[in-house]
Amino acid sequence: MFDWHLMLGIVSGMIALLAIIPYVKDILYGTTRPNIFSWSLWVFLLLISLLAQLSAGASWSIIFLLGDLIGTSIVLVLSIVGYGYGKYGWIEWICLTLAVVAIISWQATSQPLLAIIFAALADLMASIPTIVKSFKDPWSEDPPQFLLIAFASLLGIISSTILDPANLVFPLYLLLVNGTIGIIALIGRRLKQKHA
């Protein structure tokens, strides 16, 4: 019997993984230097969300998180082996604190949803500089990559057979934040072209 939820989950995970290819290409060509601290946080937060979702009773939407985790980990590895830089500021420290709170709250209350919510808040804090940068300098971000991740998030949400916050919060958050960054950069590029 054909399980369309599973197929959508697989497609969402593949899109999330493949969406990183243009970013990796830019890293290898030297046009992008990822922040090691930020990408470490994103890997850590995705891992927390993935494990918390498994603990809460995961559905096929977890395949999206797995694909995104693998892609993000590839960028982190490239950052560590010499393609990244290690600058960080107060936002990164707030994100790290929220990530630690996510783990502590999860372990103290046995409520994986708390870990997912704190991971989403930490990720949002880590994404604010990228959102601002997309607005100020839309050519510094790759809109298709963010829009692909948003689309993969949507497919991940639709693939879920368990419609509860533990399975939907983080993919829904990633849909919104990646969609916002992609749309801001795309509109910003068009506006800057018209005025150039």
Mind listing the pLDDT tens digit for each residue in 121-131?
Answer: 888 888 888 88
Task: Report which of 85, 76, 81 is spatially closest to residue 41, judged by C-alpha positions.
Answer: 76
SS3 call for 20: coil
pLDDT at residue number 194: 62
Across residues 8-37, what is the average pLDDT?
Answer: 91
Domain that holds residue 111: 4-195
Residue 51 Cα to chain centre, angstroms: 15
pLDDT at residue 6 in the model: 94
pLDDT at 195: 60
Note the Cα 155 to chain centre separation in Å: 14
φ/ψ (deg, to 5) at 161: -100, -5
Count of domains observed in the chain: 1
Average pLDDT over residues 175-193: 92
pLDDT: which is higher, 189 or 85? 189
C-alpha to C-alpha distance for 15 and 148, rounded to whole angstroms: 7
List the structure tokens of 97: 């604190």
pLDDT at 31 over 90: no
pLDDT in tens, 87-129: 777 877 887 888 788 788 888 888 899 889 988 988 888 888 8
Tell me, what's the pLDDT at 11? Answer: 96
Residue 94: in which H helix or E strand, if any?
Answer: helix 90-109
Average pLDDT value for the chain: 89
Contact between 57 and 162 (Cβ < 8 Å): yes
At 196, is the pLDDT very low, low, confident or very high (cuts 50, 70, 90)?
low
Range list of H helices, 2-79: 4-18, 21-29, 36-57, 61-78
The predicted structure's pLDDT at residue 10:
96
